[in-house]
């Protein structure tokens, strides 16, 4: 089955770039996702990348995919205090003709002045 | 104009009780999900329904019974609650065949 792993903590200074890394095991995952969870809230879809792409940029967010190494990263430029949250990487696993998301454990991003 | 809503937001109950959590989505999606997030924030899928039909049933105790009266609603009933059931339960929905899932705000269940 699919296994998704992330580092658990990242601390950055306001204004710097943040890079959150993720690895997955199932090379047949067609889509990979990044979700953000703020304290006491649900998960918010940030961005996703299709497996035939190696980069996707969306304003301050850049997603890089290295399919050979099964490595996904999320770069947040000019990190702000409002970016403090838990970031979840997720990969699609097809099961019985349907898709399910397998989540990593989440990376807690702390932004300090 | 809430996309995925859940009630209640908080639920505190005693061991052995039976409780239900409700979920509704107004996105017109065909597929709905229940996830459990434990105290370490680990998120795991429990069930998925597509057009009222159960399609994913992970290894979840029989005390948990989902019910989908129509494709916009997916409820979760839990019998004989145990301390280990304390968690945040998230409902989500997506369009069939598409992975983007939209999550509700969560229901924090505390079993004492």
How far A80 CA sits from the closest chain B CA (Å)? 23
The confidence score (pLDDT) of residue B57 equals: 83
Contacts of B14 (CB under 8 A, 6+ apart): B81, B111, B112
CA–CA dist B12, B112 (Å, integer): 7
The confidence score (pLDDT) of residue A54 equals: 93
Instruction: Enter the tokens of residue B90.
Output: 């998230």
| Residues A48, B100: C-beta atoms closer than 8 Å | yes
State how beta strands B107-111 and B31-37 pair.
unpaired
- Which helix or strand (DSSP H or E) is residue B53 part of? strand B53-57
- Given pLDDT bands bounded at 50, 70 and 90, which one contains residue B53? confident
The confidence score (pLDDT) of residue A81 equals: 95
The confidence score (pLDDT) of residue A94 equals: 77
| Residues A42, B56: C-beta atoms closer than 8 Å | no
Q: Which has more pLDDT, A89 or B95? A: A89
| Residues A98, B50: C-beta atoms closer than 8 Å | yes
**% pLDDT > 70, chain B:** 96
CA–CA dist B84, B80 (Å, integer): 11
In degrees rounded to 5, what are phi and psi of residue B95?
Answer: -80, 145
Which is nearest to B101 in space by CA: A45, A66, A106?
A45
- Given pLDDT bands bounded at 50, 70 and 90, which one contains residue B97? low
B103: contact with A, CB 8 A cutoff: yes
The confidence score (pLDDT) of residue B1 equals: 64
- Given pLDDT bands bounded at 50, 70 and 90, which one contains residue B74? very high
The confidence score (pLDDT) of residue B96 equals: 67
The confidence score (pLDDT) of residue A3 equals: 87
pLDDT below 70 — which residues of chain A? 1
The confidence score (pLDDT) of residue B99 equals: 67
Residue B64: DSSP 8-state: E
**% pLDDT > 90, chain B:** 73
Q: Which has more pLDDT, B34 or A28? A: B34
Enumerate the residues of chain B whose CB falls inside 8 A of the CB of residue A37.
41
The confidence score (pLDDT) of residue A35 equals: 96
Compute the mean pLDDT over every residue in chain B, rounded to the nearest whole number: 92
What torsion, rounded to 10 degrees, do the Cα atoms A67, B102, A21, A14 define? 140
pLDDT at B107 over 80: yes
Q: Which has more pLDDT, B58 or B43? A: B43
How far A81 CA sits from the closest chain B CA (Å)? 21
Instruction: Enter the tokens of residue A43.
Output: 């998960």
The confidence score (pLDDT) of residue B10 equals: 97
Q: In what side-by-side order are the strands of the sheet with A55-58? A: A4-6, A18-24, A71-76, A61-66, A55-58
| Residues B56, A103: C-beta atoms closer than 8 Å | no
């Amino acid at each position: 089955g699919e296994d998704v792993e992330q580092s658990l903590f990242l601390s950055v200074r306001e204004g710097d770039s943040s890079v959150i890394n993720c690895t997955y095991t199932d090379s047949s995952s067609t889509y990979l996702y990044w979700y953000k969870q703020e304290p006491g809230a649900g998960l918010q879809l940030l961005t996703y990348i299709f497996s035939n792409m190696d980069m996707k940029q969306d304003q301050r967010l850049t997603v890089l995919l290295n399919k050979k190494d099964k490595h996904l990263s999320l770069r947040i430029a000019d990190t702000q205090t409002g970016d403090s949250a838990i970031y979840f990487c997720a990969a699609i696993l097809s099961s019985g003709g349907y898709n399910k998301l397998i989540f990593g454990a989440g990376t807690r991003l702390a932004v300090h002045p | 104009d809430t996309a995925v809503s859940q009630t209640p937001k908080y639920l505190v109950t005693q061991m052995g009780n039976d409780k239900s959590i409700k979920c509704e989505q107004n996105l017109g999606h065909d597929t709905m999900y229940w996830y459990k997030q434990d105290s370490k924030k680990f998120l795991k899928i429990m069930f998925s329904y597509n057009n009222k039909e159960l399609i994913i049933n992970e290894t979840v105790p029989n005390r948990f019974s989902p019910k989908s009266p129509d494709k916009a609603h997916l409820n979760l009933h839990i019998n004989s609650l145990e301390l280990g059931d304390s968690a945040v339960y998230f409902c989500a929905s997506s369009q069939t065949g598409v992975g983007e899932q939209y999550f509700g705000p969560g229901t924090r269940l505390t079993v004492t």
